[in-house]
Structure 1
Amino acid sequence: MEDVKLDLNNICFDKDDPKLNAEVRCFHSLLLSLKTSWSDNNLSRRFWSCPYYGSQKCKYFRWSDVVNERSKFIIHKLVKKMKDMNELLVANVKKIKVMEEINGFND
């Protein structure tokens, strides 16, 4: 069995989102990709930022969506629940591996 890892970016990825194909450029004329915030204050909000954002080289940052307070609350709860379930899954996978080793099962 392989290790289990929770990847929220892949889970929340919607290939049909028209904003994924938007051409957004920073002040350096770099083409930016749409990113997702996983911070507690901006959970699941989508944004564009220059790779140099945060340094003195560029100040380009733009949200792609408007905050909905209800969604913000619900998403935070769902992400916590997913993380808790993932931790439980990882623990159970480890237990199964130990049991397989004890019983002589191999991949």
Structure 2
Amino acid sequence: MKPFVRYLALALLLAGPSWSVAQPLSGSGADAGNPYNSPIKRASPNSRQGTQSITPSAPGVNTAPTVRPPTLENGGIRNGYPTRQQAPVPPPDTPRFNPPDRGTPTR
């Protein structure tokens, strides 16, 4: 056997078990009920695709409270800076304690 073929066979033999270990088993029991392990969430964790049901809701009384979506108008979307600040208090014009003049009589 040629040395190149021998080394290639050895490399494939050693790399084979690592490929099988690296591939997770699909449908494992621990991940079956995890909603964050869907293919869409794994592809893009910040994506909202696939999070809302496409089937219509069941008819009847809706007992869940309605949630307003965040908008700029209702203050749900902000840039992190405070929007309302108190105006700074200006310093008083006259000092709080006014000592009498010692040079002139007070009458």
Coarse TM-score class (shorter-chain normalised): under 0.3
Q: Identify the structure with the greater helix proportion.
A: 1
Q: Identify the structure with the greater strand proportion.
A: 1
**Which one has the largest radius of gyration?**
2
